[in-house]
Amino acid sequence: MSTLSRKDVSHLAHLARLAVTDEELDLFAGQLTAVLDAVAQVGKAAVEDVPPTTHAVPMTNVVRQDAARPCLPRDVVLAGAPAAEDGRFRVPRILGEEA
């Protein structure tokens, strides 16, 4: 049986850019271990030579005419942003102070 420790959950949360509290780590480690145990049942299926299904509908690439179409006005889009500046999304700094 697979288990997810607090440390595992903390690592996975970091990979997903998700801060988690200590209480959440305690709660999720137990709950996710139980869920993982249940979903691990997929391993019981005999699937040699069975191809995976990524999509229920056969997918082919869809192309359209390469013609310009109107898009949303910049100010309308930026109106929904948490921060904007000079007609752009404003983001927190990406590089460290020294960079």
Partner 1 sequence: MSIRDGEARASIAGSASDRGAERVRSGAASADITSMDVHQLQAALADGATSVEITQAYLDRIEATDGSFGAYLHVDPEAALARAAEIDAAGARGTGLNGVPIALKDVVVTEGVPTTSGSKILEGWKPPYDATVAARLKAAGTVLLGKTNMDEFAMGSSTENSAYGVTRNPWDPERIPGGSSGGSSAAVAGGLAPWAIGTDTGGSIRQPAAVTGLVGHKPTYGSVSRYGLIAFSSSLDQAGPMARTVLDAALLHEAIGGHDPLDSTSIDAPLPLLAECARRGADGDLSGVTVGVVRELGGDGHTDGYEQGVLDSFTAAVARLESMGAEVREVSCPAFDLALAAYYLIAPSEASSNLARFDGVRYGLRVGDDGSRDLDEVMALTREQGFGPEVKRRIILGTYALSSGYYEAYYGQAQKVRTLISRDFSAAFGTAEDQGVDVLVSPTTPTVAFPLGARLDDPLAMYAADLCTLPASLAGVPAISVPCGLSEGLPVGLQIMAPALADDRCYRVGAALEAALTADRGDRGFLDQLTLPPVQGAAA
Task: Point out which residues bind partner 1 (CB under 8 A).
Answer: 4, 8-9, 12-21, 24, 27-28, 31-32, 34-36, 38-45, 47, 50-57, 59, 62, 64, 72, 76-77, 79-83, 89, 91-96
Q: How far is the CB of 90 from partner 1 (least distance, A)?
A: 9
Instruction: Please choose, from the candidates 53, 46, 7, 54, the residue with its C-alpha nearest in 3D space to the C-alpha of residue 28.
Output: 7
Tokens representing 69 are: 């179409």
Q: How far is the CB of 21 from partner 1 (least distance, A)?
A: 8
Closer Cβ to partner 1, 1 or 76, answer by number = 76
Q: Which amino acid is at 88?
A: R
